Structure 1
């Protein structure tokens, strides 16, 4: 059992928790909690850390998996990203998706995120995307890190099932989508049409911008059509994840009618 926070394995866990650079270098990230741990594909698990109490109470979880590394309660609290840790932590291999993986699907629908900063928003968008049947998510390089522990928790397991990739050149990636006959819509307060007036049965994508500033003009102008979500009262705009969810489920609604 590891009982010292100075142990090299413990230091590695802390680095993976805190630093995107470390996660990118190791091509790995942390998954904490029993519910999420159960959803991790076995082939993606690199290491398992647990407390002795959790190990004794959840032996079934460890069947047909690798032998876990035991941490003392104090050390586990030290490496945990939650206030009340359950006692199970996995180091998981990152998936490597490409833009071609996203585009190679039949009649796809994408989300394209520009500079969405909040990890919780990005994670919630991924979770909603799975629920709505979205094909994949393309993120600008300045979006929040999907492998951030807070983002991972917000996905509620969708991180393991929805394809996504970051792009160093968002404009070029968008133009590639347009050249593949994918119709793009930008969520814009000054949009020409309500979101539920457009037709989404064919391959399409939605451009979603930063929480505070929305899309940059350069990216918004690449859309084939600018749409808006009608609102009452004095509300000026919606949270990025809420707006994205409304749009995605409108696609799902329309496509169900065509089935």
Structure 2
């Protein structure tokens, strides 16, 4: 049993939780909790750590059957976790990787793509990933300045969708838009200048939705890449919706048509 906070493995897990640079160096991230442990594909599972209490509680069931793991004292395990009330198990997982083509979905299935520009709120990013799985999104492109998708809060917000929705970080989203157009994917942007509401367009073919930064919206450069500007109707004095809410409306508008 690991009982010291100075243990090299323990220190590395703590760094993985806190520093994106370390995550990039190791090409790994931390997924806390029993659900995420079960959701993590075996091929991506690098290390598993359990608390002494968790091990004692699950000795008689199949939770850890056939799994290689390290046992950690309860006090040390708490220091390893980002959550205030850890569940007693965490997984160090290898970052999944995807090609651009994989984000378009399989043959016979019209692409449904989200393009996220500089989103900063981890909760928004995680919620979009989770909703994307539910709405049948084939892939998500995000700018290099978008929040780190592998930070703990994002991982928890995805509820396992991080492993099932293909995504890529890109330095040049305008180039991504040009590439998508070559693949016959129409690009829509929710915009104040949109003439039709988001319900007035056809999303049954290859479709991509542009979602901008929470505070600044879409850049002019990226807005100009849209084939169609659409609007989400607003009542009262509200000018825009939360990025995750707006994304959900658009994704499910496409889902409903399909």
> So what's the TM-score if we normalise by structure 2?
0.96
Q: Counterpart in 1 of 2:143?
A: 140
Q: Counterpart in 1 of 2:4?
A: 4
CA distance in structure 1 between the partners assigned to 2:97 and 2:38 by the alignment:
21
After superposition, the CA RMSD in angstroms is 1.0
Unaligned runs of 5+ in 2: none
Q: Which residue of the other structure, out of 204, 222, 225, is the alignment partner of 2:225?
A: 222
Structure 1 residue 198 corresponds to structure 2 residue 182: no
**Counterparts in 2 of 1:114-125, with a 5 A limit?**
114-125=117-128
- Per-residue deviation, residues 209-229 of structure 1 (Å, max 9, x unmatched): 000111001101100001111
Deviation at 1:189, TM superposition (A): 2.2
Q: Counterpart in 2 of 1:171?
A: 174
- Per-residue deviation, residues 5-38 of structure 1 (Å, max 9, x unmatched): 1111111001110111111111111010112211
Q: Counterpart in 2 of 1:108?
A: 111
Q: Counterpart in 1 of 2:155?
A: 152
CA distance in structure 2 between the partners assigned to 1:167 and 1:104 by the alignment:
18
Asked if structure 2 preserves the Cα contact closer than 8 Å seen for 1:117 and 1:210, the reply is yes
**Counterparts in 2 of 1:37-186, with a 5 A limit?**
37-59=37-59, 60-66=62-68, 68-103=69-104, 105=106, 106-186=109-189
Deviation at 1:95, TM superposition (A): 0.7
Deviation at 1:3, TM superposition (A): 1.5
Local SS of the residue matching 1:62:
coil
Asked if structure 1 preserves the Cα contact closer than 8 Å seen for 2:118 and 2:146, the reply is yes
Deviation at 1:149, TM superposition (A): 0.5
> So what's the TM-score if we normalise by structure 1?
0.96
Aligned residue pairs total: 254
CA distance in structure 2 between the partners assigned to 1:3 and 1:220 by the alignment:
54
CA distance in structure 2 between the partners assigned to 1:215 and 1:29 by the alignment:
29
Deviation at 1:104, TM superposition (A): 5.3
Deviation at 1:190, TM superposition (A): 2.2
- Per-residue deviation, residues 111-137 of structure 1 (Å, max 9, x unmatched): 000001111101000000000011010
Asked if structure 1 preserves the Cα contact closer than 8 Å seen for 2:105 and 2:138, the reply is no
Superposition misfits of 4+ residues, deviation over 3 angstroms: none
Deviation at 1:145, TM superposition (A): 1.0
**Counterparts in 2 of 1:235-246, with a 5 A limit?**
235-246=238-249
